[in-house]
């Protein structure tokens, strides 16, 4: 009864925001982010266009078949859409699903034709199908076009450079909240590729329950374009114990993280991602994200690297170090207040020793003496 009352109250607040003059977009954003999101697809049809500043009075006409002629992306789009069976509701009649797949192809080709600066990528169709299923083909075309020239713009460049740069925000966020998990992942050299499909499909490709997908879309549409990477970080942080219990090698950690649990506490994680965005905004993390490329090291402190060099198992070393670390509030406080620059210097120096081989170990200690100069070079 309490849940129904809350739901009714929220629906009333959403319609009040929609009916105000001018429309209260700030209130709609709050509703999309807060518990339960926008609640129904009927409401999403009305609110999603407002979140993206898309006018529903001037929707594009339905595309003709000429779209498919001589289109360089048609064959790849066709292959991806044919493989997208599981993105449609189970039990949907074949002819209905096939009709939707044809509409899906047309929406994608229409957006690409109107925006030649955009490049199709595998996974794009996972985002488009979500809009198609919620709002129908004409409105989906308008929303996806706006989304593609804004939130998804970096994924649609000719190269993956900007996508990689966005992925580079993942480790600094994790480091701010839980240095243990960060250092363990760095030692395992797992990288961030496990989160690529999460990011470029807004989790549409990896979550099996459509309700969870649209709930996340409510959240992402109401927020900064980098919010999906904060949500990826909170999933990793939520799985802290699983990660630390894993073998400290790339294959094991990658396998664990790429298998996303289907029973995540979505509302809790959404709230946590929002908190982290406020605590550690992208502007604060930008420098570290730019530096991630230089952090290709086998260990995350000098002592770890020394021990690994004499054939000790790095995961054993790390586990020992984690056990010795202060726990609780004291540790959290020190993480938030302690300057981290020296760690970056060590990481940069270690990057050199990894590149140069074991012989370089002899000069690492003297290298630390010129590290401040080196720091100026690596943090332009």
Whole-angstrom Cα distance, residue 77 to residue 105? 7
What b/e readout covers 147-156, taking b as 16+ CB neighbours within 10 angstroms? bbeebbebbb
Using the structure block, give the residue that is written with the tokens 């070393």: 317
pLDDT digits (tens, 9 = 90+) for 247-293: 999 999 999 999 999 899 999 999 999 999 999 999 888 888 887 65
> pLDDT-derived band of residue 295, with 50, 70 and 90 as boundaries?
low
pLDDT of residue 68: 83
The tokens 């908190």 sit on which residue? 275
334 and 341 Cβ atoms separated by less than 8 Å: no
Q: How far apart are CA 349 and CA 345, in angstroms?
A: 6
- Are 214 and 134 in contact by the 8 Å Cβ rule? The answer is yes
Which two tokens mark 355? 């590149």
Query: What does the pLDDT look like over 122-135, one tens digit per residue?
Result: 999 999 999 999 99
Domain 1-151 has CATH 1.10.8.1310: yes
3-state secondary structure of 303: helix
Asked if pLDDT for residue 33 goes beyond 50, the answer is yes
pLDDT tens for residues 3-23?
A: 889 999 999 999 999 999 999
Alpha carbons 52 and 44: distance in angstroms, whole number:
12
User: Above 70 in pLDDT, residue 189?
Assistant: yes
How many other C-beta atoms can be found within 10 angstroms of the C-beta atom of residue 259? 10
More confident residue, 234 or 59: 234
Reported CATH class of domain 160-296: mainly alpha
The pLDDT, as a whole number, for residue 297 is: 33
Domain ranges of the chain: 1-151, 160-296
Percent helix, strand, coil in the chain, to 5, is: 70, 0, 30
Mean pLDDT of the chain: 80
Residue 210 has pLDDT above 80, yes or no: yes
pLDDT at 375 over 80: no
Model confidence at 46, pLDDT cuts 50, 70, 90, reads very high
Sign of CA dihedral 175, 179, 181, 185: positive
Q: Record the tokens describing residue 78, joined without a space.
A: 């066709």
Angstrom distances, CA of residue 173 to CA of 37, 151, 283, 298, 312: 24, 20, 12, 20, 29
Say what the pLDDT of residue 313 is.
Answer: 38
Q: Is the pLDDT of residue 380 over 90?
A: no
Assess whether pLDDT exceeds 60 at residue 328.
Answer: no
Residues with Cβ within 8 Å of 147's Cβ and at least 6 positions away in sequence, in order, are 52, 127, 131
pLDDT at 230 over 60: yes
pLDDT confidence of residue 289: 82
Residue 60 has a pLDDT of: 75
Residue written as tokens 């797949």?
Answer: 101
371 burial class (0-12, 13-18, 19+ CB within 10 angstroms)? middle
Q: What is the reported pLDDT for 67?
A: 80
DSSP code string of 142-199: HHHHHHHHTTTGGGGSSSSHHHHHHHTTHHHHHHHH-HHHHHHHHHHT--SGGGHHHH
């Amino acid at each position: 009864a309490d849940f129904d009352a809350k739901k009714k109250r929220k629906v009333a607040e959403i319609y009040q925001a929609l009916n105000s003059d001018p429309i209260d977009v700030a209130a709609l954003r709050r509703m999309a982010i807060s518990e339960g999101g926008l609640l129904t697809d009927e409401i999403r049809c009305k609110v999603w266009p407002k979140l993206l500043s898309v006018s529903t009075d001037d929707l594009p006409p339905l595309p003709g078949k000429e779209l498919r002629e001589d289109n360089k992306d048609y064959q790849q789009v066709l292959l991806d859409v044919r493989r997208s069976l599981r993105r449609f509701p189970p039990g949907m009649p074949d002819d209905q699903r096939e009709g939707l797949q044809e509409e899906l192809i047309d929406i994608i080709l229409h957006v690409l034709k109107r925006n030649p600066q955009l490049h199709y990528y595998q996974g794009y169709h996972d985002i488009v199908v979500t809009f198609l299923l919620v709002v129908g083909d004409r409105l989906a075309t308008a929303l996806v076009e706006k989304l593609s020239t804004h939130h998804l713009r970096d994924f649609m460049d000719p190269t993956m450079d900007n996508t990689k740069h966005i992925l580079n925000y993942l480790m600094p966020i994790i480091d701010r909240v839980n240095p243990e998990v960060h250092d363990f992942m760095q030692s395992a050299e797992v990288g961030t590729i496990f989160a690529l499909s999460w990011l470029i499909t807004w989790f549409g490709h990896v979550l099996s329950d459509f309700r969870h997908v649209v709930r996340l879309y409510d959240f992402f549409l109401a927020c900064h374009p980098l919010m999906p990477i904060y949500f990826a970080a909170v999933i990793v942080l939520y799985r802290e114990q699983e990660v630390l219990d894993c073998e400290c090698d790339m294959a094991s950690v990658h396998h664990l993280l790429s298998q996303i649990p289907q029973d995540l506490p979505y509302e809790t994680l959404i709230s946590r991602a929002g908190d982290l965005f406020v605590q550690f905004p992208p502007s604060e993390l930008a420098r570290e994200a730019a530096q991630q490329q230089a952090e290709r090291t086998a260990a995350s402190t000098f002592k770890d690297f020394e021990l690994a060099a004499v054939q000790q198992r790095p995961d054993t070393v790390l586990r020992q170090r984690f056990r010795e670390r202060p726990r609780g509030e004291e540790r959290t406080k020190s993480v938030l207040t302690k300057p981290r620059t020296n760690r970056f210097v060590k990481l940069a120096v270690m990057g050199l020793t990894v590149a140069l081989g074991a012989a370089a170990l002899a000069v690492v200690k003297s290298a630390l003496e010129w590290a401040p100069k080196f720091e100026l070079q690596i943090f332009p």
